[in-house]
Amino acid sequence: MSPSSPHPAYITATLDPRLSRWKWLVKWILALPHYFVLIFLYIAFFLVTIVAFFSILITGRYPRSLFRFNVGVIRWSMRVSYYSSTVLGTDAYPPFTLKEAPGYPIQVDVTYPERLSRGLVLVKWLLVIPQFLVIAILVTSGWDIFRYMDDYSPFSSGLIGLLSLVAVVILTVTGHYPRDLFDFLMGLLRWALRVFVYASLMTDKYPPFRLDMGGSEPTPAALAPAGAG
């Protein structure tokens, strides 16, 4: 976990300063091998989450090896998404790995929880409904956040897909990716990641109703109210 991150799930990204004006048109084709692998990885993710549910319910712990696998699936999926369908902020081809990829323009991780609430695991699906409502409006064209995290279309659905398209059209015309749009899109991705991780039983920390924009995670000091500490 990033030492300055206020949330167990964090995402940091840098915008490629030399993005091709036209490569975004074919990135989804270039990423097809990744999409094929991710179909099976997300089937495994779902099965692992079921096993983790019973483990948490009985022992209060998420098996560490299963947790690492699911984090790897999220990490892989987000790299492919960042490259080919949402944000499209890099021309660097994503690696075929569940592990961290130092130097890749987007980094995603989730801090392992030593203990998780046995009771909370039964009601997280209910508690997260307000978040699903927000994500359905802001990020997707429907209700399924799990489908959003594994979206294989050239552009993600909903607002994030529309804004990603606007950003690359501006890139094509001007040669520059609009920084304000990048910051906003990263805020949407960060929010969606937190909701997804909570719904996947990987943390007990409820995702905040907050849009933390920009490529870097907000520091705790930046989130403190005026006059605090």
Question: Residue 1 has what DSSP assignment?
Answer: -
DSSP bridge partners of 107: 12
**C-alpha radius of gyration, the chain, whole number:** 17
- 111-168 residue pLDDT tens: 999 999 999 999 998 999 898 888 777 665 444 444 445 454 445 557 888 899 999 9
- 53-68 residue pLDDT tens: 999 999 999 999 999 9
- 3-19 residue pLDDT tens: 445 789 999 999 999 99
Q: Mean pLDDT over residues 72-85, rounded? A: 94
- Structure-derived torsion over alpha carbons of residues 117, 3, 106, 131, reported in degrees to the nearest 10: 40
Q: State the pLDDT at residue 133.
A: 83
By C-alpha distance, which of 141, 18, 14, 31 is closest to 76?
Answer: 31
What one-character-per-residue DSSP string does 46-84 give?
HHHHHHHHHHHHHHS---HHHHHHHHHHHHHHHHHHHHH
pTM (predicted TM-score): 0.86
- 187-209 residue pLDDT tens: 999 998 999 999 999 999 999 98
